[in-house]
Structure formats: C-alpha cells, structure tokens
Structure 1
Amino acid sequence: MSIVRERVTAEPAVAIRREQPWKLRYLLWTVAGGVAVVALTYALPPFRTYQLATIGAYLCVTAGLTVLTGLNGQLSLGHGALMATGAYTVALLQDKLAGRGQWTLLVSVLAAIALTTVVGAVVGLAAARLRGPYLAGLTLAVAVVVPALTSTFDTTFNSDQGLSVVLDPPPGTIPVEQWQAWLSWTGALLTMLALAVLVRGRFGREMRAVRDDETAARLAGVSVARTQVLTFVVSAACAGLGGALVAVLAQSVSPGAFPLTLSLFLVMAIVIGGLGSLAGAFWGAVLLVALPALAHTVTEGIDAQRLEGNLPLALFGVTLVVVMLAAPGGIASLNPLKRIRRKA
C-alpha cells in the first residue's frame, strides 16, 4: 500500500515538472518581447512608435480571432463590432472618471473587457446553435447592428461624430507615443501569454477536437456547446481589449473607425498570417497597420479619394492570393526554425 501511495503522489509531481518548461519558455518570450518593445520605443521616431502601438492593439484582436476561427472553427465577421463595444465603453467611462489619476484608465479598460465579454457570451450562445454560413450571417448582423446603435441613441454616443476619449497626461516626461506603445503592448503581451497557456492546456485540446470532429469530441466526453461558447467569450474579451486600446491610441471613437470592412480585414489578416497560429496573429496585426499605410503612401499627392478608400481592400486581396499560392499555411508557416526541427 505504501508503494502504491508513493507512486500516486509522485505522478502529479512528475507531470508538474513536465509542464513547467513550456510555461517558463512562454514567460521568457513575453519578457523578451517587452524588452524589445521598450527598446524600439526609444529608437523609433514618434510616428513609427505610434504605429508600433497600433500593431499591439490589433494583435489583441487577431490573437483572439485566431483562437476562435483557427482552433475552434467558428467564423466571425463581427469582431469589428466587438471592438467598437470596448472602444465606446472606454470613451464613456473616461468622460466620467478622467482627471482622477492614471488608475481610471485601467478601470475603464477592465470595464470594456467585461462588457464585451458579456456581449460575446450572448452572441456565443446563439452561435453555438449555428454552423457555416449561418454563423457568419449572425456575426455579420452584429457588425451591422452595433454601429447603427450609435445613430439610434445619438444623445449618448453623439451619432456619426463620435466621442472624445479624455485621458490624463503620461506620468513624468514620457512622450505620449511612447506611453501609448507601452500600454498597448502590455495588453498585447499579456493576451498572447494567456492565450498561449490556454491553447497548450486541456481547453485547447478540446477546442481542436470540436473543430476537427464534433461527433468524435462528444464521444470523448467534450461538451461541444460549452467549448464553443467559452471560446467565443475568450475571443470577444480579446476584441474588447483591442478596441479599448485603439480608442486610447486615437483618443476618439466613432462609427467610421469600426466599419464592416474592418471585420473583413481582421479575417483576411489571420488567414494571411497563418490560421490557427498565434505567430500568424502577429503577422496579421502587422499587415493591418502596414497595408493601409502603404495605400496612403501610394495615393499621396493624387486626387483619388475613391481609390484611397478601396486600395487597402485591394491590397489585402492581392496579398491573400499571393500568400496562399506561395505558402498555403500563411506567413507563419515560412518559419525556417520549424523546417530545421522537422528535418532533425
């Protein structure tokens, strides 16, 4: 009996020791990423630092959408509306709380995440009953309805003109762009760390099982509906954080900042970056900032407003075709380290 008891108590300890290395590796990658971002904010000019901050904000959204679509198989065309929910929450709360210290921004962002999580739970409960184009249609309806609410309740949301995000100045003599980049990437790196741990654990295995075969997942004891709803909730929380950070960076929020095309851009970005890979979510966030900037550069000095509005979508389409032909797994699949490991 004592030998059996020793084996039973020893097995969990062995499992814990096996789990520690990859968790420690993720933590080290997070710290290294934070150090790299801080170093870049000192080396880059203000505008590039602002773009770096914007990449961090979008990374929160693309990472959550990658988990939802790539790992759980739920297609969402409404994440732009979830971003708008988080952004408007921050704008409304900051109008009431600003001037009382830097802690108010943290409260506003946490409230934005909480409210978007609730919205994601409601949408997720409905989405768990739908599949394929029906699910895409539901989320598309959300993308259309949420911005329309700003016109319906114009006394609260100021209609198409939007709201200003009242912020306290950065502490000390820190430049605004640098402070924004630090805030944005703090949220992005914590999001990536949390999702990496989540994906590697039991819940991640359940998500992939549901994506691959729902019937087999049920036979294995996985609650398909619960997994789908929880995945949508996690993804919505990430979108709410990303929307809140975008509002903080722009210091304003309006329906025009979250059009239907934004949701399409988000889906194309995670496909181009690498569907189902958190590294692909990073490349998708980079494209969300780089391609519109490239479109603006191309049309600069040309009297072509219609071209400037449609050119980013065209660039995304061309990039999607090129990447899918060259690397069907997305940009993340081009990682040379993975090829070396496979050959080894």
Structure 2
Amino acid sequence: MTARTTLRRGIPRTLALGALLTLLAIGGTFLLDPYRNFQLATVAAYFCATAGLTVLIGRSGQLSLGQAALMAAGGYGYALTANAMTDAGATGIPRFLVSLLAAMATAGVLGWLLGLAAARLRGPYLAGVTLALVIAVPAVAAVFSGVLRGDQGVQIAYDGMPPLLERLIAVEQWQAWVAILVAGVVVTGLAVYASGRTGLRVRAVRDDETAARLNGVRPGRVKVGAFTVSSVAAGAGGAVLCFVSQSVSPGAYTLAFSLLLVVAVVLGGLGSIGGAAIGSALIVLLPWVLGVAADALPLPADVQQRLSGNLSILVFGLLLIVVTLLRPGGLASLRPHRARRNSAATDARRVDDPPDPHGSARARTPRSSQGPAVEPVAQPTEPGKTGERGEPGGGGAQHPEPALEPARSAPPTPHRKR
C-alpha cells in the first residue's frame, strides 16, 4: 500500500468522523437548557479559532499571538455584510451564508498578508508582528469609527429561525445548531488539511526547511498557506460569535483574550484537534465554574468582585504550569489508546537491535524483560580454512575471533646447503 493510497483512504474516514461528531453534538443540545446551549455555541465559536491556531503552531511551527485580531476581522466582516444584505432585503439562511463567506474571506486576506511576513520572519519577530496586530484592533476601530462604530461596535438585527423550527426549539438551541454545523465543517476541513499531502509538506517545513527545499517543497508558499488556512478558521469563529451575540466590538478581542487562546491550545495539546476542543471548553466553562464557587463562599462583596475577574486568570496560569511540567503534550495526551500506541512502538524499537556498523554477520537476538540479551559466541575457525567470503575466519570486514586452542607450531625447515 502506497502513501498516496493511505492518504486517500484517510480523508473519507476523517469526513465520516467529523459528520458523526457533529450530529452527536447537535443531538446533545436537546439535553441542555437555553443557557447551556448558549455556552455550547460559544465553545463552538472558540473551537474554530483554537483549531486553526493549533494547526498553525503545532503543525507548522509558527507562533501567532494575533488570533483574536483575526476573529475580530471575521466578526466585523460578518456584521457589515449582514447589515448590507438586510438593507437589500435578503434575510434568512442566504444572508447568513453570504455573511459567513465574507467573514472568512476578510480574515483570510488578512492572514495571507501575515503569511507573507511569516515567510521572512520567525520566532520572536513573527510573534511581535502578530502581537502588534491584536494591539492595533481598538485603534483601527477608532480611526474608522464611521464604519466600525468605534468602541460601541456594530450591531446586527436578529434574523430569526426558520418557521418550521420556531415552535419546536428555543432560539439558543437554534444558534447552537448553527454554531456546531459551522465548527464541524471548519474543523473537519482543518483535519483533512493537516492529515493530507499538504500537511506532510507543512510538517516537513517545520522540521527542516533546508531538507524540505531540497525535496521540492517551497517553504515560503507553505507558510503563507498555513497562515491563510488558520486565519480563515479564525474568521469563521468570529462570525459565529457575532451571530450568537448579535454584535461585534473591539473590547471583546483584547490582548488578554488572544493570549488566552494560545494558553488554551497549549493546555489542550499543540497540534491536536481534540486538544483544541478541550481548550475551548475551558475558556467558557472554567470562569463560570469558578464564579459559581466564589459566589457560594461566605466572602465580602468587594472580595467576590475581585475574584470574579481575576480568579479564572490565576487558575489558567496554574494549569499552564502544571500541565507543561507533567504533561508537555497537553490534556489530549491523557487518552489511553495513545499511551498504548506509544508503548507498543517503544517495545518494537527495543526488540529490533540496530544493525552492526561494521557489517558483521552476527545473529541478532531479541531482548527479554527477564535479563540482558546473550550474545552468540563466534565459532573458532581452523587454520587454513576460509569463511563465506573467502577470507580467513569468514568475518568479512570484521577481524576473525582468536582460536580457543593455540595453533600448532610448524616443524622447522632444514637449511639447504649451497
């Protein structure tokens, strides 16, 4: 089976798994109340952004601290397009789809421009460029206040649900459905991108740019593509968040939020789509759980007010330290089947001894867990006989082992008289 056949077979499996998980998540909305469905929709929006970020950092090795700015670009693109289509008389699902595509295109163009810089920068220089982008979001909103409405942001009109669903489900459940569908499509596309031939090129550039270039891979083009794909996913997340909250403002996409997205990706596991889902859930659920716990404690009102805004940040920092020290692979590395697979690979490496660099023909014996491996004793070769390669002792490039018995001395040769 060739590598191309394996990749082609893996893509249908990825699509089927993504569709199955999306349907299961939609079915789970019937078990939740409206507020929990609102939280689920928010998690789905963050999932798009963190999944794109984990592919960018974990697979391509490029550090980006400006994912929140790309989400803001997607949110503004969605809001402005939705208002324009509402003024033109378009409503319903067509308005949502066109606005979503506009949001993804806006963030994708911005990510493409970042990718051009990423092709020439790396490390802290690239992180500094992306950091400057997220810092500039409030300034851009203030400069173009006539369009972006400054600090107040852009409001969009509620479009309602399809008439068939108005009497069956709540508004929050409908929003959760839309968010889950968008996240399912975006994340499945990211999984196909990361596991296909393009993903192999991305990992090759991450590991060694020189070797990848010698094998016909263009590192600059690969980096630009990775940034663009990650930005499109972030734009979709910003559009979903705008759809759920019916507004977009620069105050929702601060530097702290952008760094929180990076922390969530590291906690979940760099390069892991499942880890991105875990990190997105932590962003939404951890502050809520800590807020409920703080309200239950008999504390003064001023202390509870201080804890409500800072306790979640403190816990995120502690979790980051603990997970980095104990589980560098993130929380996604706690899955048991991955541990079994790693242990099996380790056992396989232990069984197969490395080849002898001298090219000897000594037999290999598997190592046992009961004791060290026993090396076979080389058989002595009688004098005068040749080995398999026509050399004394048959050792090839290796010198023959000394005989166990001393060689018999030849009788003295009599001197001939002249």
TM over 0.5: yes
Distance 1:71 1:19 in 2: 17
* 1:141 aligned residue (88, 109, 132): 132
What do the CA deviations read for 1:49-73 (whole angstroms, capped 9, x no partner)? 1111111111111110011111111
The structural deviation recorded for 1:343 is 4.4
Tell me by how many angstroms 1:100 deviates: 2.3
Deviations 1:88-140 (A, max 9, x none): 11111222223522111110110010111111111111121111111110000
Taking the TM superposition and a 5 Å limit, the aligned residue runs for 1:67-216 are 67-98=55-86, 100-102=90-92, 103-172=94-163, 173=166, 174-216=169-211
Residue 16 of structure 1, CA deviation: 6.8
CA contact (8 A) 1:90 1:165 kept: no
* 8 A Cα contact 2:7 2:197, kept in partner: no
Deviation at 1:264, TM superposition (A): 0.2
Instruction: Name the structure 1 match of 2:215.
Output: 220
Conserved in 2, the CA contact under 8 Å of 1:59 and 1:285? yes
Mean CA deviation greater in 23-32 or 246-255:
23-32
Contact 2:26 2:180 in 1 (8 A): no
Bigger drift between 181-190 and 29-38 goes to 29-38
| Residue 298 of structure 1: how far off its partner (Å) | 4.1
Give, in whole Å, the separation in 2 of the partners of 1:74 and 1:234.
13
Distance in 1, Cα, partners of 2:255 & 2:294: 22
Q: Supply the AA of the counterpart residue of 1:183.
A: V
Matched, 1:34 2:29: no
Residue 328 of structure 1 is matched in structure 2 by 328
Matched, 1:46 2:46: no
- State how far apart, in whole Å, the 1-side matches of 2:101 and 2:232 are: 10
Q: How far does residue 323 in structure 1 lie from its aligned partner after superposition?
A: 1.6
Which residue, 2, 8, 12 being the options, matches 1:24? 12
Q: Structure 2 counterpart of 1:35, which letter?
A: L
Shift of 1:21: 3.5
The secondary structure found in structure 2 opposite 1:186 is: helix
Shift in Å, 1:207? 0.8
1:7 aligned residue:
none
User: In terms of Rg, which structure is larger?
Assistant: 2
Aligned equivalents of 1:202, 1:46: Cα separation in 2 = 42
Measure, in 1, the Cα distance between the counterparts of 2:294 and 2:144: 36
Segments of structure 1 that go 5 or more residues without pairing to the other structure are 1-10
Cα distance in structure 2, aligned partners of 1:162 and 1:296: 27
How far the C-alpha of 1:328 sits from its partner, in A, is 1.4
Specify the alignment match of 2:281 in structure 1: 286
CA contact (8 A) 1:275 1:329 kept: yes
- Percent of aligned pairs sharing the same letter: 48
Letter in 2 for 1:337: H
For 2:317 and 2:52, locate their aligned partners in 1 and report how far apart those are by CA, in whole Å: 22
Q: Is residue 94–residue 165 contact of structure 1 (8 Å, CA) maintained in 2?
A: yes
What count of residue pairs does the alignment treat as equivalent? 332
Q: 1:8 aligns to what?
A: none
Structure 1 residue 37, shift from structure 2 partner: 1.3
2:260 is aligned to 265
Letter of the structure 2 residue corresponding to residue 310 of structure 1: N
The answer to whether 1:254 aligns with 2:242 is: no
Structure 1 CA distance for aligned equivalents of residues 10 and 212 of structure 2: 26
Provide, for residues 278-335 of structure 1, a one-character-per-residue CA deviation record: whole Å limited to 9, x for no partner.
1111111111111222343344484344443333321211111122233111011111
Contact 1:160 1:256 in 2 (8 A): yes
Q: Distance in 1 between matches of 2:194 and 2:27?
A: 29
1:81 to partner: Cα distance = 0.5
In structure 2, distance between residues paired with 1:50 and 1:214? 44
Helix, strand or coil: the match of 2:160? coil
Q: Which residue of 2 aligns with 1:241?
A: 236
- Which shifted more, 22-31 or 38-47? 22-31
Q: Is there any run of 5+ residues in structure 2 with no aligned partner, and where?
A: 345-418
Identify if the C-alpha distance between structure 1 residues 20 and 208 changes in structure 2 by more than 3 Å, giving closer, same or farther: closer
SS at 2:237 equivalent? helix
Query: Over residues 213-240 of structure 1, what are the superposed CA-to-partner deviations in whole Å (9 max), with x where a residue is unaligned?
Result: 2222222221111110110000000010
RMSD over aligned CA atoms reads 1.8
C-alpha distance 16-67 of structure 1, shift in aligned 2 (>3 A): closer
Equivalent position of 1:277 in the other structure = 272
1:81–1:147 Cα contact (<8 Å) kept: no
Relative contact order higher in (CA < 8 Å, ≥ 6 apart): 1
Q: Quick check: 312-321 or 104-113, which moved more? A: 312-321
Q: Secondary structure at the match of 2:191?
A: helix
